[in-house]
Amino acid sequence: MIRHLNIKIRGFVQGVFFRLTAKQQADRLSITGFAMNMPDGSVYIEAEGEEVNLDKFLKICHVGSTMTRVENVEVFAGPLKNFKEFETY
């Protein structure tokens, strides 16, 4: 079953390849959506995919890249938007 998640990651997550890592893993897991830096220093992600792959993607969001320090991850379900690919902004 395809699900949609809204994910907000806080910590040292900007300027440390977090979004690039998210995109690489999303592509690997057939996750669509986007990742973008927010003005408050967090990263916001909307992700859609099979539940098992979203679970794997969420585990990656708790770690990020090798330079990342994730302090908090908030996850909320949302309505499907039928993204075609995973993009970074």
Residue 41: CB partners within 8 Å, gap ≥ 6? 10, 13, 14
Of the chain, the end-to-end C-alpha distance in Å amounts to 27
Full pLDDT tens readout for the chain, 89 residues:
999 999 999 999 999 999 999 999 999 999 999 999 999 999 999 999 999 999 999 999 999 888 999 999 999 999 999 999 999 99
Active-site residue, 6 included: no
Q: Is 23 part of any domain? A: yes
Q: Is 37 part of any domain? A: yes
Say if pTM beats, i.e. exceeds, 0.85. Answer: yes
Active-site residue, 82 included: no
User: Which candidate in 3, 19, 69, 82 is catalytic?
Assistant: 19
Q: Is 31 part of any domain? A: yes
Q: Is 41 part of any domain? A: yes
Q: Is 10 part of any domain? A: yes
List the domain range (segments joined by +) for residue 8: 1-52
Which CATH number do you get for residue 37? Answer: 3.30.70.100
User: Which candidate in 3, 6, 10, 37 is catalytic?
Assistant: 37
